[in-house]
Amino acid sequence: GVDGSTYASWAWLTMLSMLAILFLPRQFQMQVVENTDERHLGKAIWLFPLYLLLMNIFVLPIAFGGLLYFPRGTVNADAFVLTLPLAQGQNAMALVAFIGGVSAATSMVIVTTVALSTMVSNDLVMPLLLGLRVVRIRERGDLGGLLLAIRRVTIIIILLLGYLYFQLIGQSSSLVSIGLISFAAVAQFAPAILGGIYWKGGTRLGALSGLLGGFLVWAYTLPMPSLAEAGAISTDFIVYGPKGIALLRPYALLGLQGLDPISHSLFWSMTVNLGLYMTVSLIGRQSVEERGQATLFVDVTNYATSGDMLPLWRGTATVASLRDLLTRFLGEQRAARALTSFARQHGMDLTTVAEANAELVRYAERLLAGSIGAASARVAIASVVQEEAFNLSEVMRMLDETSQLIAYSHQLEQRSRQLEEKSVALEAASAELRAANERLQELDRLKDDFISTVTHELRTPLTSIRAFSEILHDNPDLDAAKRTHFLEIILKESERLTRLINQVLDLAKLESGAAEWHVEAVDLAELVREVLASTSGLVEEKRIAVQLQMPKEALVLALDRDRITQVMLNLISNAIKFCASESGKIEVRLTRDNGLVQVSVADNGPGLSAQEQAVIFDKFRQVADRTQGKPQGTGLGLPISMQIITHYGGALWVESEAGAGATFHFSLPVVQGEAN
């Protein structure tokens, strides 16, 4: 029979082969880098498996014949295709097989080294050279020769490293085992690449952590034991573990036994790789750029049209500047041919056009990416393209203030160091400056967080409005019912966007003290009744029971009626939102005690946990509606209410237990002569 370990090895090798098909350099070069149209993948889906099947039709008879003719491993299985005809005296056939094998191996080496040299020059060397001002690579006229030299040197280094590895362990290992070790190394790219395509939560630091951890485990469990078995290093650490620690034996790491070395290494390296990638990504925080890139990659179908990717560019560039840029990197003849081909395909005369459109810019970037890599191409294009600014004046104003704060912070640091060097007597002043600097840095961080959050909140309705507007624009014959439905969504998102902007501006005015207050005599009892009357429609719709308790005498205070109405509306609306239909109950109480007027709004909803109560009054913090499954609103109502109540010297707080409803209270001081 066959034991379970054989099936486990077969499963691990199958998964490893699948990953190798995707991420081996030669595979990646053919199916991604040299693929000009993703529609080609439709043919490759059935043609590539057919090729593998046809190849194995010839492999299986040769393998069976070799095992039968050369039993007990007397001949290396890699050489069956040569030893079988030689054993039968068919020297001519052996020569043909040898020539074919050399040709196939040579082509694989050529494709692999070209792919690796392209990756090294495009994604490692060129971004580094473009970022070094000392090299001044941007000032060179023709970079084609430099790119060619970099790739030639890289090819030589790769071939020398391969030959060195062969000299170290190639004589003691079969071609299959060497290939599987390299497959396991390439598989370490799988979590970061697949995660970047399908998971929005990944971060750059998480991907790098996973890659580093996975490669370290792979190196410890496969290449190092191979070097030991070849005699390059001692075999003691394979048998006993480093310094006699049995749990660290490379073929039985942490006591895991029963797997072959390839499966064992793949299990531990992928576990560490995937674990670090997800853990570091979840613990850390995505930057604005990472969040945007994740959205574009994961939701790529929302932005792709007619095979062209991401029609989101807005900016200006001249045809002359793009022609000069392409000439520097591709050479004059190739750049001219490329631009002529583009003009012919699009029916344009680039000699009479001054400003380049978005399609020409993307075409130029694709040409550069093929020569210097996507990252370097984006940097090069950015040097001649002037991007359109994000049209939000308030955000830009805050960014300007942030820049000023950062500059001022640097000045304070320099002044602090100078004061410390001049005299010990100025230590107190220096400490004060350091404290101010820390405060400014904290304000800078808070402002960055605020800008990031507001931008994210604004992007959601804007993306929805743009998507449905493009659908309506691109489909004039759309069904009337769908058109009406899409227009309703656009209107709803526009109202949401307006409400969010108004609340952000209102909160900013309240926090800065620039808000206008229209104080008048306000009867709180009458105001509460008016708010309940205005929300009666929602109450009746959900069949919620409302109880009102208040003193008989009037409670008149000098307040801004609209502001206090806003507070009451927010509290009662929240209570209605979290009450269950038909069984919901809301109680509103108005009391006066010890110079304070207190208003309480209680509901029998799901309540708040201690963690939720700690952040409920923070900006953009929302509690999920258990009945809807997601938060509703903007998360600014309670912070605005807190600012209004605090302005009058009052307090706003919540009392709640999870599953037992919530009660929001606010109190206002009664100034003598103010209340009846």
What confidence tens digit (pLDDT) does each residue in 175-225 have?
A: 677 778 888 888 899 898 888 888 888 888 999 999 999 999 998 888 888
What is the reported pLDDT for 346? 74
536-539-542 Cα angle (round to 5): 150
What is the reported pLDDT for 494? 79
Spatial separation of the C-alpha atoms in residues 434 and 428, rounded to whole Å: 10
DSSP 200-251: TT--HHHHHHHHHHHHHHHHHHTHHHHHHHTTSS-SHHHHT-GGG-GGG-TT
Answer yes or no: is pLDDT of 103 > 50: yes
What is the reported pLDDT for 534? 80
406: left (phi over 0), alpha (psi -120 to 50) or beta: alpha
CA atoms within 13 A on the CB side of 423: 4
CA distances (Å), 26 to each of 23, 117, 148, 242, in order?
Answer: 8, 11, 19, 36
Q: At what angle do helices 144-169 and 319-330 cross, to 10 degrees?
A: 40
What is the reported pLDDT for 278? 92
Burial bucket for residue 513 (CB in 10 Å: 0-12, 13-18, 19+)? exposed
Identify whether the C-beta of residue 246 lies closer than 8 Å to the C-beta of residue 298. no
What is the reported pLDDT for 279? 92
Tens-place pLDDT, residues 494-519: 766 776 676 666 666 666 666 677 88
Spatial separation of the C-alpha atoms in residues 303 and 320, rounded to whole Å: 29
Beta bridge partners of 598: 591, 667
634: nearest Cα among 468, 454, 492: 454
Spatial separation of the C-alpha atoms in residues 268 and 270, rounded to whole Å: 6
The span from the first CA to the last CA of the chain, in angstroms, equals 96
63-67-73 Cα angle (round to 5): 120
Amino acid symbol at 112:
T
- Dihedral of alpha carbons 497, 499, 505, 511, sign: negative
Spatial separation of the C-alpha atoms in residues 316 and 334, rounded to whole Å: 24
Phi, psi of 593 (to 5 degrees): -160, 130
Identify whether the C-beta of residue 230 lies closer than 8 Å to the C-beta of residue 168. yes
Which pLDDT band, with edges at 50, 70 and 90, does 272 fall under?
very high
Spatial separation of the C-alpha atoms in residues 101 and 230, rounded to whole Å: 26
Tens-place pLDDT, residues 38-53: 788 888 888 888 988 8
Identify whether the C-beta of residue 652 lies closer than 8 Å to the C-beta of residue 645. yes
DSSP 409-457: HHHHHHHHHHHHHH-GGGHHHHHHHHHHHHHHHHHHHHHHHHHHHHHHH
Identify whether the C-beta of residue 269 lies closer than 8 Å to the C-beta of residue 276. no
Answer yes or no: is pLDDT of 629 > 60: no
633: left (phi over 0), alpha (psi -120 to 50) or beta: left
Burial bucket for residue 380 (CB in 10 Å: 0-12, 13-18, 19+)? buried
pTM: 0.47
What is the reported pLDDT for 309? 42
Answer yes or no: is pLDDT of 448 > 70: no
As a dihedral over the C-alpha atoms of residue 638, residue 640, residue 643, residue 648, rounded to 10 degrees, the angle is: -90
Identify whether the C-beta of residue 241 lies closer than 8 Å to the C-beta of residue 234. no
- The whole-chain average pLDDT of the chain stands at 77
Answer yes or no: is pLDDT of 456 > 80: no
Burial bucket for residue 630 (CB in 10 Å: 0-12, 13-18, 19+)? exposed
Tens-place pLDDT, residues 590-613: 988 878 888 899 888 888 887 777
Identify whether the C-beta of residue 191 lies closer than 8 Å to the C-beta of residue 273. yes
Spatial separation of the C-alpha atoms in residues 646 and 636, rounded to whole Å: 15
What is the reported pLDDT for 496? 64
